[in-house]
Amino acid sequence: MPSRRGAEADALPVAAGPGRFGRQALAILWPAFLMAGVLDALVFVVVDPGSLAWFGTQPIEWSRSAVYSVSFLIFWGVIATSGAITGLLEAPEGGG
């Protein structure tokens, strides 16, 4: 038996796209992610993760994948922070 509430009540809710904040976050984080990958590759073409040391004294006793992962996250954070600061500086006066 059909519902008496009408077709609108039976329709599934439609997810809205990302809001303004989501679009800004994606515009900063996605390019930063890509560039962090490129920078990670470029750095480790030159630097051997097994030869890294803490401030030149004791060797870092991490696996290669741990060094790659941590450095990628650091690069991503630094590049994303740079993009976010640029976004703040480009924001129109008056916040809108």
Q: How far apart are CA 14 and CA 33, in angstroms?
A: 29
Q: What is the pLDDT of residues 52-92, one digit of tens each?
A: 888 878 998 899 999 999 999 999 999 999 999 998 898 77
Instruction: Please tell me the predicted confidence (pLDDT) of residue 93.
Output: 77
Which residues neighbour 76 within 8 Å (Cβ) at sequence distance 6 or greater?
A: 32, 33, 36
Inter-axis angle of helices 64-90 and 20-46, nearest 10: 140
Q: What is the pLDDT of residues 8-34, one digit of tens each?
A: 555 667 666 678 888 889 999 999 999
Q: How far apart are CA 61 and CA 63, in angstroms?
A: 7
Domain ranges of the chain: 19-90
Q: Is the pTM of this model over 0.85?
A: no
- Which of 93, 96, 90, 82 is closest to 32 using CA atoms? 82
